[in-house]
Amino acid sequence: MPGEADTLALGAAMVSHLLPGMVIWLEGDLGAGKTTLVRGLLRAAGETGAVKSPTYTLVEVHVVSGLNFYHFDFYRFNQAEEYLDAGLDEYFSGSGICLVEWPDKAAPYLPAADMQIELRLDADVPGEGRIARIAAASAKGRTCLAGVMSSGLARPA
Ligand SMILES: Nc1ncnc2c1ncn2[C@@H]1O[C@H](COP(=O)(O)OP(=O)(O)O)[C@@H](O)[C@H]1O
Ligand SMILES: [Mg+2]
């Protein structure tokens, strides 16, 4: 993905393939583009307001197009037990779509992912390039991934 617009476009391409209750993990270093991808996804879903990083709030809730989106960021956790203390399990038990940055910081307590997206810098592209690696981890995830691939923005590894 040569530039930010491409990461936004990948997020946008996912929207029509999301399924109720899906949990999507977004992995990769600071600045890899996790929040950018979520921003593209939420804008395409109809969010006209700001899509802020949940770094300080832990979760940002977006209700758009009749769907609930829960955007998490666990970067600030020092210990995974903080996930339990925050009482966030209920978000993962309904039909809302959960988008989780820094899921490894809440392991092993975090509910399992349907889909995992790993973002990293593309060493072959100077400056802005990113590589996204998408893996499905459930039937829902496989259905969604097949849809994203049909958009032409992703291909089998
Ligand atoms: N291809 C790209 N995809 C995503 N972000 C990019 C890209 N190229 C440059 N950027 C920039 O990198 C930064 C990514 O920030 P952000 O999405 O907040 O990352 P993260 O949430 O992973 O920490 C943004 O400033 C964005 O403009
Ligand atoms: Mg972020």
C-alpha 41 – ligand 2 centre gap (Å)? 14
Domain boundaries, the chain: 4-150
Task: Give residue-wise pLDDT tens across range 81-127.
Answer: 999 999 999 999 999 999 999 999 999 999 999 999 999 998 887 77
Q: HSE of 102 in the Cβ direction (CA atoms, 13 Å)? A: 21
CA 124 to chain centroid: 24
CATH topology (fold) of 4-150 = Rossmann fold (3.40.50)
33 close to ligand 1 (CB < 6 Angstrom): yes
Contacts of 140 (CB under 8 A, 6+ apart): 19, 21, 22, 114, 115
Q: How far apart are CA 148 and CA 44, in angstroms?
A: 14
30 close to ligand 1 (CB < 6 Angstrom): yes
C-alpha 71 – ligand 2 centre gap (Å)? 10
Regarding pTM above 0.95, the answer is yes
Q: Band the pLDDT of 36: cuts 50, 70, 90.
A: very high
The answer to whether the CB of 97 falls within 8 A of the CB of 20 is yes
Element (H, E) at 148: helix 139-150
Ligand 1 atom 2, closest CA: 4
Least confident of 5-9, 60-64, 127-131: 127-131
71 close to ligand 1 (CB < 6 Angstrom): no
